[in-house]
Amino acid sequence: MGNVTSLSNDEIKEIHEETGFSASQIRRLYSRFCHLDKDGKGHLERKDLRLIPELSVNPLGNRIIEAFFVDQNDSRRPVEQVDFLQFTRTLATFRRTEAKHSSELNTVDKKIEFVFRVYDIDRDGYISKDDLIHILRCLVGVSIAEEQVKGIAHRTLREADKDEDKLISLDEFKEALGNVDVKEKMSLRFLTA
């Protein structure tokens, strides 16, 4: 699935089986991927995703982009390029969960893991107070004083850090999100049919 002009039926079938996207959704995603891949390299780089208007205006846009660029075998290791299969795998995280087209990629756990990667700035497998401060600063800019931001980060850490190691693990993060309807909040209706 490198630098080609279209996908074969076998490639579409393989992607469908892994992601749950329909053939028409896969074709539209491929069209979007090719549009973003202006140089026809067969992969995307961070600069390509920064061209997506919704990400360019999102205060966490750069963090969301970074969450796309992870090694499939070790989410703490960054990669420099994303091919079409990785692109669809990541987007599958945001698919609505449907019984007939469910996928291991769009479970509640996978959705939470994606958000965790957005918050884990230094990719050490934990969310620290510094990570929280960075995310809060992205969200509120300069509209809140630094001391208030630090106070919010401190309270958040105190509430979510069950083992009191001053870090939020993935398990603690999942527990902290226990009352949030992650399935609904992290699902997009961006592709129908």
Let me know whether 15 and 76 are in one domain: yes
> In angstroms, what CA-CA distances link 38 with 26, 44, 67, 118?
19, 9, 21, 26
Which range is least confidently modeled, 40-49, 67-76, 131-140, 181-190? 181-190
Let me know whether 49 and 94 are in one domain: yes
Q: What is the DSSP letter of 127?
A: E
pLDDT single digits (tens) 96-121: 766 455 678 878 888 899 999 999 99
Containing domain of residue 58, as a range? 11-106
pLDDT single digits (tens) 47-83: 999 999 988 888 999 999 998 898 877 777 889 999 9
Q: Single out the residue in 91, 106, 121 at which a domain terminates.
A: 106
Tally of domains within the chain: 2
Please say whether the beta carbons of 70 and 117 come within 8 A: yes
